[in-house]
Chains A and B, each alone.
Chain A
């Protein structure tokens, strides 16, 4: 939570700042180098020249959570890995986003019934922003997910929330 967030009503300055910050954030989403299973192969294809995630400013795969904005959970998350995923998520600086890539991370996928060691969806471990179905998803699907995440970032605002307004109205 930044100082400016949830503090001012909508106005020229805050909305302009919103626009500028969202423009910067949505066009420089740096993902973390983090492949867990077969979906990571598709993620690598997205990083390579044929699909080229760099067109969206998201090609700088960082090898450390400290420099990453986006965690693409690419692959099956088992219980042993879940605590690591959570720790890496905790180590990422705000603003941070999570993409659940593939059926396994969306909800267990093919391991839903008999996968005794598989987490039934990575949203049980970290808050997920975008779900990308597929087993594995096509690279285009990952790019689509990235574009939807960009949309999501572009609609973020730092103006006062309705909840805060309601609380103030009740208090005064």
Chain B
């Protein structure tokens, strides 16, 4: 098979163009080999499926397709409402996860890297630490949220926005409402 392919390749090479190499058109040979591989791969997959289809026992049963497999009848359904507070937990987890993943190699090579690496990571760390402190203060880390801490943090946002942009009263109140809804 391979020798035939080689023959075919060299014949084509002589007919169409000067030979690329003394061994014939190697590109064509490569393509033929790859097609052989692909065909053999497909063949093996389908042969396996066919043999399985012929040899395996098939006795369908309604309980075989049930999702729960502990011997019990499933109770209720999985479409339950999920507490939105887990979203914050997931976000905080990702923050710390990424932080650890990036800080670890930096900490290992801390002595070799010197001052520039330290300052680079200082900035990076602050980018995470400041929001974290805000979160802490706003009470997002508490499972049962303290209303006073939240309203306090929201009030601070309001005062900040007020001091930054002295606008009309209606505008200001809408901004405060937006800040509160962000909470």
Contact = CB atoms under 8 A, between A and B. Distances in A.
A21 B54 CA distance: 12
Interface stretch (A43-51, A85-93, A131-139): A85-93
A2 B54 contact: yes
B55 A17 contact: yes
A85 B53 CA distance: 29
A88 B56 CA distance: 20
B174 interface: no
A91 B55 contact: no
Interface stretch (B65-73, B138-146, B151-159): B65-73
Nearest to B71: A84
Given A84-B72, A85-B71, A91 B57 contact: no
Interface string A89-116: 0110111000000000000000000000
A94 B57 contact: yes
A87 B54 CA distance: 27
B58 A2 contact: yes
A162 interface: no
A21 B57 contact: no
B69 A66 contact: yes
Given A65-B69, A84-B72, A1 B59 contact: yes
B57 A1 contact: yes
A161 interface: no
Contacts of A3: 53-55
A91 B54 contact: no
B57 A2 contact: yes
Contacts of A66: 64, 69
Interface in A35-89: 64-66, 84-85, 87-88
A4 B52 CA distance: 11
B61 interface: yes
B59 A94 contact: yes
A94 B55 CA distance: 12
Contacts of B63: 87, 90-91
A104 to B, nearest CB: 18
A20 B92 CA distance: 55
B69 to A, nearest CB: 5
Interface of B: 53-59, 61, 63-64, 66, 69, 71-73
16 contacts: A1-B57, A2-B55, A3-B54, A3-B55, A4-B54, A17-B55, A64-B69, A65-B69, A84-B71, A87-B72, A90-B61, A90-B63, A91-B61, A91-B66, A94-B56, A94-B57
Sort A-B residue pairs by CB-CB distance and give the 3 closest, nearest first: A84-B71, A94-B57, A90-B63
Interface of A: 1-5, 17, 21, 64-66, 84-85, 87-88, 90-91, 93-95
